[in-house]
Amino acid sequence: MAGDDKLRAMKLLLVGGGGREHALAWRIRHEMPEVTLIAAPGNPGIATLAICVATAVSDVAGLVRLAQDEQVDAVIVGPEAPLAAGLADACIALGIPVFGPTAAAARIETSKAFAKALMHDAGVPTARASMHTTVASAKAAARQFGAPVVVKASGLAAGKGVVVAMTLDEADAAIASMLEENIFGDAGAEVLIEEFMTGEELSLFVLTDGETAVPLPAAQDHKRVGEGDTGPNTGGMGAYCPADAGDPSFTWRDGHLPHGVALVMDTIIAPTLRAMRERDMPFRGLLYCGVMLTPTGPRVVEFNCRFGDPETQAVLTALSDDAPLLRVMLQIARGERIEPVPVFAPARAVVTTVLAAQGYPATPRSGDTITVPDLPEGTWLFHAGTVMRDGALSTSGGRVLAATATGGTLAEAQQRSSALAAGVQFTGAFFRRDIGWRALARGA
Ligand code: AMP
């Protein structure tokens, strides 16, 4: 298979236009320099690696037409929205290989109620939870658990649908905002009241053909806007890889899969994939597992049906240069079986620091001109909220760039990532200088 892919220059369509897709575009071109890469819609960073076509990720019919017109060999889908809208289903119906699950399988992310029921039936360790459509029953459930308690909108809420309530008053307010004020619309018409779990979190990406699953090195995200993990939640202010959350059983040694990861594969990933097959919705693509390492073992916080952002920027650059990520992704896209090897070991430490726009996450300003520094060896500036305006690179979103750097140690990667971020100039730019702080405080 690898030979075939190398013999012939392929044409691929990459769907998305954020930092995650910029990192994917970089990795695809790194592994297959001859590839003809089309990105929809892409962004100014991706445009240095791919031909960008202005088809929105929400335009499923337009994306399918683009794939057909261009006769691409495969479609690789970054974000969840087109998957939820049936992009993979449409490609499969036309015989176009696609990396990403069907809309039915994507429900593992798009319906937290579905995911919770699946985990419950499959005996997968996760927080206890109950589902509610009325304020009274939701409030009663919150009281059964007691504070702190977690309130979650079941549907897709752009990463904002989770409230970790430290008091019952906070829980009540969150319940009312979702079920009465409908702040998330239909996505919040059903809420989960969930047991609060303690522990540190890891993001584990798993490539799967629906049956066999291969993990990538784990990363740790930083959701809070402020240093020391303070302030409101965001889409993610930075990530590092590899991460072990302070548990030595998750530490990579000599390129061997850590046994903590093997345990997660056996107790969480395998039964989840089996349950999906039993429901006639095999999950093919990338399964993102947010795992909490609790005192009673690893438990699932959430599943996503695609690569995470900004973890992807750290994970893909931490892989060894010859790791066959794209080859495995293309096998999955074609519906072929994958092998449980190779082991995707981290080759280096990476820190990615998100440069955000003033006012993020509430009301980010945009339209500011960006100046970028020269990139030293082993660094990347992945574009997320950028646009070319009158020939100048400008801000166009809350998370603007992901300043990514390798290091011989995590401390060095953090220092290089922060230095790179500090070299980027735009009005109101801010970033966290402490990505990886938990690991560094432990002396990693
Ligand atoms: P989610 O969107 O489900 O990943 O939730 C967002 C964040 O809320 C997670 O990254 C956790 O930090 C936190 N969280 C979610 N569920 C729980 C839980 N049951 N216990 C503690 N924290 C949680």
Nearest CA to ligand 1 atom 6: 162
- Pocket flag, ligand 1, residue 162 (CB < 6 Å): yes
CB 111 within 8 A of CB 104: no
Confidence of residue 2 (pLDDT cuts 50, 70, 90): very low
CA angle centred on 194, ends 309 and 164, rounded to 5°? 60
Whether 164 is in the pocket of ligand 1, judged by its Cβ within 6 Å, is yes
Length of the chain: 444
- Non-local (6+) Cβ contacts of 288 within 8 A are 109, 203, 204, 205, 206, 303, 304, 305, 306, 307, 308
CB-ligand 1 contact for 223 (6 Å cutoff): yes
Q: State the distance from the centre of ligand 1 to the C-alpha of 291, rounded, in angstroms.
A: 10
Mutate to test the pocket of ligand 1, among 237, 302, 311 (most ligand atoms within 8 A of CB): 302
Q: Whose CA is nearest to atom 16 of ligand 1?
A: 301
pLDDT the model gives residue 1: 45
Residue range 241-266, pLDDT digits in tens = 999 999 999 999 999 999 999 999 99
Ligand 1 and 196: CB distance under 6 A: yes
Task: Report which DSSP code applies to 319.
Answer: B
**Dihedrals φ, ψ of 443, to 5°?**
90, 25
Least confident stretch, 271-275, 340-344, 380-384: 340-344
On average, the pLDDT of the chain sits at 95
**Residue 383 confidence (pLDDT) above 70:** yes
Indicate the residue type of 396.
Answer: S
Q: Evaluate: CB of 197 within 6 angstroms of ligand 1.
A: yes
List the one residue out of 35, 34, 39, 63 whose CA is nearest residue 50: 39
- Which residue among 112, 116, 128, 150 is best mutated to probe the pocket of ligand 1, counting the most ligand atoms within 8 A of its Cβ? 150
Write the DSSP assignment of 141-158 as a string of letters: HHHHH-SSEEEEESS--T
Tell which residue, 366, 379, 389, has the closest CA to residue 416: 379
For residue 14, how far is its CA from the centre of ligand 1 (angstroms)? Answer: 29
Cis amide leading into 298 (omega within 30):
no
* Residues 102-123: tens digit of each pLDDT: 999 999 999 999 999 999 999 9
Q: Which atom of ligand 1 is nearest to the CA of 112?
A: 3
The DSSP letter of residue 304 is E
Is the torsion defined by CA of 83, 87, 93, 98 positive or negative? negative
- DSSP state for residue 256 in the 8-state scheme: B
What is the per-residue pLDDT across 150-197, written as a single tens digit (0 to 9) for each?
999 888 887 778 999 999 999 999 999 999 888 888 888 899 999 999
**Which tokens is 51 given?**
């031909």
For residue 198, the CA-to-ligand 1 centroid distance in Å is 10
Distance 25 CA to ligand 1 centre (A): 29
**Cα–ligand 1 centroid distance for 9 (angstroms):** 42
Residue located nearest, by CA, to atom 12 of ligand 1: 201
Rounded distance between C-alpha atoms, residue 68 and residue 60, angstroms: 12
- The whole model's pTM is what? 0.96
Lowest mean pLDDT among 33-47, 76-90, 145-159: 145-159
